[in-house]
Amino acid sequence: MKFKYLTILIILTNCQSNMNNKIIAPICEVENKILSAHSDDRLDKYYWLNQRENPKVIDYLNKENDYTDFQMKSTESFQKKLFNELKSRIKQEDESVPYLYNGYYYWKKFEKGFEHPVYLRKSKNSNSKKEVLLDVNEMSKVYDFFNIGDYDISENNNLMAYSYDTLSRRIYDIRIKDLSKNELFEETLQKTTGSIVFANDNQTIFYGKKDPQTLRSFQIYAHKLGTNQEEDTLIFEEEDETFSCYAYKSKSNEYIIINSSSTLSDEYRLIPASSPYETPRIFQERERGLEYGIYHQGNQFYIVTNQDHRNFSIKTCNLDSTNKENWKEFISGRENVLVEGLDVFNDFLVISERENGLTNLNVMNLKNDSNHYIHFNEPAYVAGTSTNLTMDSNVLRFAYNSLVNPGTLFEYNMLNKERKVLKEKEIVGGYNKNEFISERIWANGRDGTKIPMSMVYKKGIKKDGSNPTLLYAYGSYGYSIDPSFSSNRLSLLERGFIFVIAHIRGGEEMGRKWYEDGKLLKKKNTFYDFIDCSKHLIEEKYCTSSNLYAAGGSAGGLLMGAIINMNPNLYNGVIAHVPFVDVITTMLDETIPLTTGEYDEWGNPNEKKYYDYMKSYSPYDNISQKDYPNLLITTGLHDSQVQYWEPAKWVAKLRELKTDNHLLLLKTNMKTGHGGASGRFEYLKEIALDYAFLFKLENITE
């Protein structure tokens, strides 16, 4: 009877006073819905929030925003200070290092006070003038959100095609520009994936289209300049709902390549770039569990594949014999080294590798079969190849940064091994890396696994538990979180915070097995690793549970939801950005973007074993009556990756069941999607809110 009365009361009121806190907190309206599968019934009181166009939904989200603003009102001036502080470190007038492609140098610049870049080029002839290709500041004036997706230049250098998104749902329109006349073609290619590639005929553009419901990239079209989109030729359609496809051009410029991939399988098709309407030729038919990537060079292809080793090996094949039976071993797979990709030159290969959690660049001289590594001397860093578009070169561009090194773009002579600095990232206002310390430490997992962590802090801290500490992780899709530099992070470090990255299972930092041990029916290892890393930081007296904070976004938001259900008392506060928290409901709904393509990552809940396992950790399904830490949760109304209603439902249910008086804040950006605000400054307001939340909990006021 008590339950019925409470339900009626909630239905009749959109909000009620929390007498303990003497502040008004939104209480979401209840509409009971039973979700049934495998003879199991789940009650979802907040399912109705998935109605994006329902005024009641928008009203509730606005109420939550108002409540967040109210709770953070005391930090308003501090947020402004933080925003200006973050902004002040960014070089207002800045330019990228030009790269040479097909006789032109291309680069982009930022102008003082402007959010967006200007794209430029200049002929390599010394007397030529620079051309403005796109002024994104002008293009974005009438939009709340604006983002350039991709662009490509025709082989004759006269045409440019570019894509743009004005809603933040990663659905792009494409326009074509005649650079010789500085005029746009009449046609607009709508509802595309944003990827663009010119064929070598200077008349044909390949682009992808998304399913309007699921937003899966499932079609590749060829568009002839000057025609209507309705006349475009369908080149390829991916019918398997677990696969997505896209088109690109080989570095050699000889092939248009169509890639179709799922979590566990790849398939490539080849079209001569000079004959764009030729029937695509399959490189190697898809096989479940067979992953591969292809790189053209002269009369052969290099293939990076897991055919013989889970950490991937490198093979070769002739142009006309591309089936896997014809692949020849070039570099064998190694148990302690993960091959992540190749950069192919006429006389060199640069192999991107990962060993013991760190990235390495392995340079191979194809003329004499020798190889060497480019060495780095920090305990935690990230290095990777940059823009290298010319095959006939012995010069490699690569980028390097670390938790204390802001970042450097190098030019590297692969013959004599000499490095040349092209650009060092400038931190406006000054930055002394010698004032900070970077460490790599290891936690003991509950199953005996050693889990690496990368950390940075200001010199002078004492291991007495007094240091506020922010622990960050992701742990899904085999995506590795590398120890990279952030100027924004200085606002934390200068105020005494330790920042730590937990390289937990589900990523690929320690090789392919590291990923496989953190997915499907082993997904809980991801959560256990994060908790064990948290306990290690406390045991080693970096911090205590009263000043330990956790943060993660998207699938990392799932991680946040899981750990606060499992060990809520470990953390004083948690930040979850665009969190994937309603796992079962989402994975059972095939109309939601990304669902079917995710089965190999999370499992298909239409199978009972996966359903039961998901239910055992799904954050939304495992909320219970207990104390939770202080929480800041963010989302975007137009999010295409994780729908806004997942965090909204999560917050509503937490308000209903949690037994504490801690902060529970939901901030919905009503104009953006998964990636947050566009532009180089506007998103800093979101970071300022995050930091103000942490500082409020630490009683840091300036």
Check if 554 is active-site: yes
Cα–Cα distance for residue pair 208/260, rounded to 1 Å? 12
> Is-catalytic flag, 662?
no
Model pLDDT, residue 10:
31
The C-alpha atoms of residue 359 and residue 351 are separated, in whole angstroms, by: 10
Q: What is the pTM of this model?
A: 0.89
What is the per-residue pLDDT for 127?
82
pLDDT at 351: 98
- Distance separating alpha carbons of residues 650 and 580, to the nearest angstrom: 10
For 124-180, what is the HEC assignment? CCCCCCCEEEEEHHHHCCCCCCCEEEEEEECCCCCEEEEEEECCCCCCEEEEEEECC
From the list 554, 618, 640, 678, the catalytic residue is 554
pLDDT beneath 70: ranges in the chain? 1-23, 592-596, 640-641, 672-679
Pairing of strands 573-577, 630-636: parallel
Q: What is the pLDDT of residue 40?
A: 97
What span, in angstroms and rounded, lies between the C-alpha atoms of 27 and 51?
A: 17
Closest CA to 451 of 491, 509, 401, 365: 509
CA distance to 557, 610, 645, per residue, from 599 (Å) = 18, 10, 21
Distances (CA, A) of 689 to 26, 81, 343, 372: 20, 11, 40, 46
At residue 595, the pLDDT reads: 66
The H or E element spanning position 689 is helix 684-697
Compute the distance between CA of residue 176 and CA of residue 189 in angstroms, rounded to an integer: 9
Could you tell me if 604 and 264 are in contact, meaning their C-beta atoms sit under 8 angstroms apart?
Answer: no
* Predicted local confidence at residue 211, as pLDDT: 86
Catalytic residue status for 454: no
Measured between alpha carbons, how far is 656 from 692 in angstroms, rounded to an integer?
Answer: 26
pLDDT at 522: 98
The one catalytic residue in 152, 165, 674, 678 is: 674
Please tell me which residue in 482, 529, 639, 690 is annotated as part of the active site: 639
pLDDT of amino acid 214:
78
Take residue 63 and report the two structure tokens written for it.
Answer: 């109420």
CA dihedral sign of residues 393, 394, 400, 405 = negative
